[in-house]
Amino acid sequence: MTGARDEILARVRRAVAGAPRVPAWRERVPGRPADADLLERFVGRVRDYRALVTRCAGPGDVPAALAAALAGTSAVLVPAGFPWPVPGAVADVGQSPGELDLLDAVVTTASVAVAETGTIVLTHGPGEGRRALTLVPDRHVCVVRADQVVADVPDAVDRLDPLRPQTWISGPSATSDIELNRVEGVHGPRTLHVVLVTGLPAARE
């Protein structure tokens, strides 16, 4: 079997010898605002997962939307680089999972969002924080810009750097028992709240 595999690989190498190298991913081009139909599809899919959606006309409306989404919470963690103020927020100082579990919520940004599946993707850069932050607290509030919404998974993959860590989130954490009864919040946030900012200008990244 090993000999046959080596022969196949050798043939592939000979066939592609001299072909130009193509990068595994393309550098992201300046963002373009998503059209209304795409945003409606994204919002609908997010709500299908029993997640919440708040729309903001522009960045100036985000603080008020965050305050409403975080109503009733007292301990909210905000990762470094989050671009909007959250009064009374707790900074990420490397809290353990047990310490994170004592917090009410976490607020982050995202790298990309998928309209077809209602999925948000974090690559854990500035504003998104480390992976544990969005897996332990009971509520995750995520700010998504309209120009980050793409049509489908291939479009999302095209925007992402495969060398960076990624967390793909579709709705609140959920599981089902043997009778297919849905239970939320067993191994992650019980509530996902997406704040969709539709009035931001195209981003240059």
Pairwise CA distance, residues 39 & 29, whole Å: 19
Q: What is the pLDDT of residues 51-73, one digit of tens each?
A: 999 999 999 999 999 999 999 88
SS3 of 19-61: the string is CCCCCCCCCCCCCCCCCHHHHHHHHHHHHHCCCEEEEECCHHH
Residue 147: pLDDT above 90? yes
C-alpha 201, offset from chain centre: 20
Could you tell me the residue ranges of all domains in the chain?
34-197
Average pLDDT over residues 109-122: 95
- To the question of domain 34-197 being in CATH 3.40.50.10420, the answer is yes
Query: What is the value of pTM for the model shown?
Result: 0.75
